[in-house]
């Protein structure tokens, strides 16, 4: 079975290839299928944005399609940066965006936050399934660590023993992260009864 990952991000395609190949999927990027769209993320939620991206590619190929959308929600900032995590306040670099979060939380007692990952899977008959992983934690007082990407240097997960995600081994995220949780749900679904045989 073929599946197209609805993204132009090569790293993401590689990750999903590693995950889905053992289940018998031949994983393709949009580009490999000649699909050159860059879907505008106009949804109001991670679910909506993941579905928008998957549906746009599905409409062009009518086969298995997978997409995901993820980000960081900070309680004291009313859930920001949320779906705007990759472009928070229009800031260009990840370092600037991390700095903006630390500055916004200056003097705040509530530093709770969570990472969210939403995976959207569409099967050849057009049925759509969403898998949502949540990873709770707090925002650190200052940056620490060089592993991972994005907000990892300022995120201390509930299972991180007080250390930022970026200061822990990469394998830690593979077990505990929002993405790992959403992928686990996806795998359970795909391994289940009729999903892959359909
Ligand atoms: P996207 O789902 O690839 O659009 O990612 C959205 C943005 O959320 C990224 O650019 C990061 O800023 C942030 N983000 C999502 N997942 C993580 C993570 O695991 N660690 C750190 N930042 C993340």
- Residue 81 CB–ligand 1 contact under 6 Å: no
Supply the DSSP string of 59-71, one letter for each residue. HHH-SEEEEEEEE
For 25-60, the pLDDT digits (tens) are 999 999 999 999 999 999 999 999 999 999 999 999
pLDDT at 19 over 90: no
The CATH code of domain 2-197 reads: 3.90.950.10
Strands 64-74 and 112-122: antiparallel
pLDDT at 196 over 70: no
Q: For the chain, what are the domain ranges?
A: 2-197
Work out the mean pLDDT of the chain and round it to a whole number: 94
Of the candidates 176, 76, 164, 193, the residue with the CA atom closest to the CA atom of residue 134: 176
CA 188 to chain centre: 18
Neighbouring C-beta atoms of residue 11, cutoff 10 Å: 9
- Residue 71 CB–ligand 1 contact under 6 Å: yes
pTM value > 0.85: yes
Return the minimum-mean-pLDDT range out of 9-18, 37-46, 110-119. 9-18
Strands 2-5 and 26-29: parallel
The DSSP bridge partners found for residue 73 are 81, 114
Of the candidates 72, 143, 51, the residue with the CA atom closest to the CA atom of residue 102: 143
Q: How far apart are the first and last CA of the chain?
A: 10
Cis? peptide before 81, omega within 30° of 0: yes
CA 70 to chain centre: 3
* Amino acid 195: pLDDT: 57
- Residue 30 CB–ligand 1 contact under 6 Å: no
Q: How confident is the model over 153-157, as a mean pLDDT? A: 98
Share of the chain above pLDDT 90, in %: 84
* Amino acid 194: pLDDT: 58
State in Å: Cα 149 to ligand 1 middle.
8
Q: Is 109 a catalytic residue?
A: no
pLDDT at 18 over 90: no
pLDDT at 182 over 80: yes
């Amino acid at each position: 079975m073929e599946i197209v990952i609805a993204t132009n991000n090569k790293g993401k395609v590689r990750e999903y290839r590693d995950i889905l190949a053992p289940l018998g999927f031949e994983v393709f990027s949009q580009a490999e299928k000649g699909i050159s769209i860059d879907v505008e993320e106009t949804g109001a939620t991670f679910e909506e944005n993941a579905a928008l991206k998957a549906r746009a590619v599905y409409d062009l190929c009518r086969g298995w399609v997978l997409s995901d959308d993820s980000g960081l929600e900070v309680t004291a900032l009313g859930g920001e940066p949320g779906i705007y995590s990759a472009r928070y306040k229009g800031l260009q670099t990840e370092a600037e965006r991390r700095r903006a979060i630390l500055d916004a939380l200056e003097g705040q007692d509530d530093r709770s936050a969570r990472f969210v990952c939403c995976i959207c899977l569409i099967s050849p008959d057009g049925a759509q399934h969403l898998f949502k992983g949540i990873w709770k934690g707090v925002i650190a007082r200052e940056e620490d660590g060089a592993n991972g990407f994005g907000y990892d240097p300022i995120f201390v997960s509930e299972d991180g023993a007080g250390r930022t995600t970026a200061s822990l081994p990469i394998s830690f995220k593979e077990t505990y992260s929002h993405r790992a949780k959403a992928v686990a749900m996806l795998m359970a679904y795909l391994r289940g009864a009729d999903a892959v045989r359909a």
